[in-house]
Structure 1
Amino acid sequence: MFRLIISIIILSVFSSGVFGQNLTRYSEPRFLPHEEAFQFMSEQNGETLTLTWSIAPGYYLYKDKITINDDPAGLVFSQNHESHYDEYFGSVDIFRLQAKATINLLNLDTSKPITITYQGCAEEGLCYQPVFQDIKIDTSLLPEPASKSFDLSPDSLFGSNSMMLVTLGFFVLGLALAFTPCVLPMLPILAGVVGANQGRGVKRSLALAISYSQGMAITFTGIGIVVALLGAQFSALFQSTFVLVFISMLFVLLALSMFGALTVQAPLWWQNAINTIKVKGGSISGAFFIGATSGLIASPCTTAPLSGALLYIAQSGDVLQGGTALYALAFGMTLPLIAVSVSGAKLLPKPGPWMNFVKGLFGIALLGLGVTFIERTLPLSYSAPLWYGFISLSALIIAWLSRQHLSTRVIGRTSITSALVAVTSLVLFAQSLMQVGHDSVLVKFESFSDHEKVAQLLQKSDQPVLVDFYADWCVACKDYERYTFSHPDVAEALEGYRLVKIDVTKMTEKDRELMQQFNVMGLPTLLHREEEGIKSITGFYYHDAFIEELQK
């Protein structure tokens, strides 16, 4: 009897330890409904609305997906977020266990319900569709309307893609442009034309220089606003492959102009028209007008970077950012002029060949922007060799620029560093080039936009059907393309299937209705219809586990 009990215990342990693991491994992952994974609550206290999410263990919430009426501005988070690296989207901020945010309702239109949108994922490989929560505001709790205030929280000012960071970047760009060979040597002459630093006293000279600076800045601001408005009107064009390739080629041409291979500048007739305007310097209004008209003429050194900046603003379509960015650019360009008006040329570095080195660095930056645009049109496997090739080329260009324009002492160190970077990048380029096409999708899906047709195929079809619900924001959907649908065993297992893909990235009303009809809780989800009926594969599986799920 004792031996029998011992045998039963050993058999139980063995079964739970081995067979139990296999059952767990190959059973379909269990995921919580979104309302349990991300328990949402809201509470209004006067003009402040507090939003709270209780997040289940093993799940996380994207910070940048939390919006008010499709706008993230105005949210102030009191909970610390953490950085999460994703190979497709890079570093993203997420919340685990809890997220909490407050909103100042005085900055919103509370005459109708506000919509809170949020989205999260499960660690095991499921991305939930965006959730929309409509909240009706009790306007009787609000004080009398006041003028809207700016959100000066650190998160708003210095967050990802914030206007403050973009503005600061454009200011640095403008300051660097002032040290190119077409601008720096002309600053003392320009100070004389404006009327500054001509025995008028420091205060008067400073006032004239600032007036010139503001004239140029206001002109640039107007140009930035106009370009942003045009970009917003034609934002769909910036998703076109043809347009992206065209913009990329423009950046390459602009880069070549910075390397001296060609000259890009305003048309001669435009320059002549502006030059016919005669304004006498020495007065505040005269200096302002000279600055305003100077903003309409770009020198060969500044035309390419300015064109690149305008292309960037156009594709953003952000009017406020466009205006502030160009204002900061102009102010950065004219800041050395203000320094000249106060101290003469004492504070400026001595002009020399090094200025052409700075000009060449702008060319490399423009090439990088070109790579960014062309990357959007290429398959994922081309990204790594494209960037490694760019880094290697940049290192070689820097070595060439340093030999042409820098001193012998600096050339040695620059050449060694550039050579190391170039060789390393070339090795990585060769390795990544061998992977091009290896992750190509062997399993080809038909893209459907007709929701009713997809529903009919799942309900009735003469052959097995597999429907892939896909979205651009779904990380695990991209994993399927890279690791599962690129495997020959999966392609063989799916022979004879009608393969259909429906893109639910925008989560339209029809998207949500179709997902609700077939109980699709999140992405990735693949529905396959066979003789036994409709089965669901929820979450991500590598090729071997996917085949087992398919054959269950």
Structure 2
Amino acid sequence: MKTGFAKCLVYFLLILASLVSGCAFCGERIVTGRLIISQSALRPGDRFELAFCGIVKPGYHIGSAGSGSLYPAKLTIKAPDTVVLDQPIYPRGRIVDSSGRERVPTYEGKFVIRLSGRVKDLARPGKVHFAASFEYQGCKQELCLPPEVFACFLTVPLLRSGSPVKPINTDVFGKKGKSTELTSTEQRFAERLESYGLLLKLLMLYAFGLLLAFTPCVYPMIPVTLGYFCTQGEYRNRRVILMAAVYVLGIAFTYSVLGTLAAATGGVFGGLMQNRWVLAGIATVLVVLALSMFGLYEIRPPAFIEERASGRSGIAGAFLMGLVFGIVAAPCVGPAVLGLMLYVAKLGKPAMGFLLFFVLALGIGTPLFLLATLSAKLPAAGMWMVAVRKLAGFLLLGAAAYFASLVVPGHIRGYLVPGVAIVAGIYFALFERSLQTNRVLAVIVRVISLLVIAASLAVVLHSGGRRHMLTWHTYSLQALKDASRKGVPVIVDFTADWCAACKELEHKTFSDPRVIREASRFRRLRVDATNASDSRVLAATRRHSVKGFPTVIFFDSTGKELSENRVVGFVSADEFLALLRRVR
């Protein structure tokens, strides 16, 4: 009897001890943490980072994320519809031996889980509430507890576009680990700008501006510059340099104003080139200038201005030309320009933004400055200068035809510029008499004229022929969702008729047989942004944060955008093919 009672007492004490021990585990939270953000406030269009900073209680460990853990850790963050969050980036776990001597990855001590996010362009000012829940299973030596969930919250102000914000929590976000996901090229460029001093920023932007000067978007400026300056007949070096300088300053001023406004408002850089009235106005100005070169009239400022200008009216005209045609340079976009827009938007200082865009524009304008200086130095004396003025007139007419081709019906668009070239070739070959005094020069001009006529006819015939090109379907959000549901990757091409780089991408890259073959497994959608008044175009560009053209976006078979694959500007067929092969 006593023996039985003693056994029962021992069992009771053992059970009580185990319960007490269990309650001790239950009363202790194994993981604590907080949710932090990379900047003091958010604005429409902002890209930002979140981080969950967790701490595992000393003596314990939890299963890490990914395969290999018995109970993988999982972070879930809920945010309002105005915010888009990427998938979390988990740190690599430390390998330990489990009770069965199986090596499993775990977290011990401090760990940080990061993820990137973006605020939609249409978000309204207010507050953004983030709710994080972290699921885990804590273990101590060979004893593992039931899974638990730790919850924490974060509220961040949402300000208007252009409002000043500052980076915070730099101890976490200033030093990214190897597990951090690569961001887009323009985002990395913006981060690089942020890390540099002012002088290095300016030097880098000027260098990138020089590179942009040799892209297709600047090509229309070449005949305009030649046509305007080669008829000035100016022989004084200082005045030539001054005229060329104020011409470039005018271009840089317009470019900087448009760039700063686009960065502050989240609009599309070069959006004025979507306006048919602007394009028609530019074409009209060029035609008026061209006809004056043929001697139909002479453009002079009013007498009271000319009297007060003391010979400086040419300088004012050059500055005015630069102001007008700075609009043409605005569509010059690429990762550097979009990265600068991101940086200026985050900076929230319009004056500094203007300065940065101005230096970039000076880089774009430097080759035009040299071209203007050389063409303005042509001697004005001699009958041959009559032919030069008429050549300048045809160059301006060709530029006018280019801008007019962006607003006329598509079936005649490809004939305008070649048509002007053919007329110019016929005129110089048969009717221009000022060059007849020199037989050798006359023969050279006729040969060149015939070559121009032949090349223009070849362009017309080639444009009328059929070429193998990528075929596209009209973009819609439903088409994007259908492709994701079917597990089909997607290419979305944002283009416009007025975009020179878009045309180069179309004819050099999208016509490559290798690109066509590889792209056949994609759903190919296109947004034609030629008509700025189309509400569907506006919605698509805002939805996908498109700031310039051309822009090509890739989505994998799950419907996730691959931001590191985003293309802005022209890329070769080889580069585009490599991007296609990375998408699954």
TM-score normalised by structure 1 residue count: 0.41
TM-score normalised by structure 2 residue count: 0.39
Looking at CA atoms only, which structure, 1 or 2, has the larger radius of gyration?
A: 2
